[in-house]
Amino acid sequence: MMGGPELIDATLEGLVVPSFTRIGFEARRRLFGWQNLDSYRLGGRVVAITGATSGLGRAAAERLAGNGATVIAVGRNPDKTARVAAEIRELTGSPDVSATVADMGDLSSVRRAAEQILREHQRLDVLIHNAGALTPTRVEAPDGTETTIASQVVGPFLLTSLLLDRLQESAPARVITMSSGGMYGAELTIEHLEMSSDLYNGTKQYALAKRAQVTLNEMWAQRVGKQSVVFQAVHPGWADTPGVQESLPTFRRIVGPLLRDTEAGADTMVWLASDDNEPLSCTGRFWLDRRVRSIHRLRSTRRSDTPARREDLWSWVTERAGCNPRT
Ligand X SMILES: NC(=O)c1ccc[n+]([C@@H]2O[C@H](COP(=O)([O-])OP(=O)(O)OC[C@H]3O[C@@H](n4cnc5c(N)ncnc54)[C@H](OP(=O)(O)O)[C@@H]3O)[C@@H](O)[C@H]2O)c1
Catalytic residue list:
206
Beta carbon of residue 227, minimum distance to ligand X (angstroms, whole number) = 28
Q: How many helices (H) and strands (E) does the chain have?
A: 15, 8
Spell out the residues 6+ positions from residue 42 whose beta carbon is closer than 8 angstroms to its own: 64, 67, 68, 69, 274
Query: 175 has which bridge partners?
Result: 127, 231
Beta carbon of residue 165, minimum distance to ligand X (angstroms, whole number) = 23
Interaction between residue 24 and ligand X (CB under 6 A): no
Interaction between residue 132 and ligand X (CB under 6 A): yes
Residues 91-110 binding ligand X (CB under 6 A) are: 103-105
Helix/strand/coil (H, E, C) string of 166-209?
A: HHHHCCCEEEEEECCHHHHHCCCCCCCCCCCCCCCCHHHHHHHH
The binder of ligand X chosen from 47, 64, 216, 244 (CB under 6 A): 244
Interaction between residue 75 and ligand X (CB under 6 A): yes
Nearer to ligand X, 104 or 149 (CB): 104
The binder of ligand X chosen from 80, 83, 111, 291 (CB under 6 A): 80
Nearer to ligand X, 19 or 130 (CB): 130
The binder of ligand X chosen from 5, 18, 243, 325 (CB under 6 A): 243
Per CB under 6 A, the segment of 22-30, 46-54, 277-285, 317-325 that binds ligand X is: 46-54
Per CB under 6 A, the segment of 5-13, 130-138, 195-203, 279-287 that binds ligand X is: 130-138
Per CB under 6 A, the segment of 75-83, 280-288, 291-299, 307-315 that binds ligand X is: 75-83
Residues 257-286 binding ligand X (CB under 6 A) are: 265
Whether cis (ω within 30° of 0) applies to the bond prior to 95 is: no
Q: How far apart are CA 286 and CA 183, in angstroms?
A: 12
Dihedral-angle region of residue 32 (phi above 0 means left; psi in -120 to 50 means alpha; beta otherwise)? alpha
DSSP assignment, residue 327? Answer: -
Q: How far apart are CA 170 and CA 123, in angstroms?
A: 6
- Binding footprint of ligand X, residue count (CB under 6 A): 30
Interaction between residue 151 and ligand X (CB under 6 A): yes
Burial level of 227, CB count in 10 A (0-12/13-18/19+)?
Answer: exposed
The binder of ligand X chosen from 85, 167, 239, 255 (CB under 6 A): 239
Beta carbon of residue 300, minimum distance to ligand X (angstroms, whole number) = 21
Spell out the residues 6+ positions from residue 95 whose beta carbon is closer than 8 angstroms to its own: 89
Rounded to an integer, what is the distance from CA 46 to the centroid of its chain? 17
| Alpha-helix runs per DSSP H in 78-174 | 78-92, 107-120, 147-149, 155-169
The binder of ligand X chosen from 43, 142, 242, 249 (CB under 6 A): 242
* Interface contacts to ligand X, rule CB under 6 A: 50-51, 53-57, 75-77, 80, 103-105, 130-133, 151, 178, 180, 235-236, 238-239, 241-244, 265
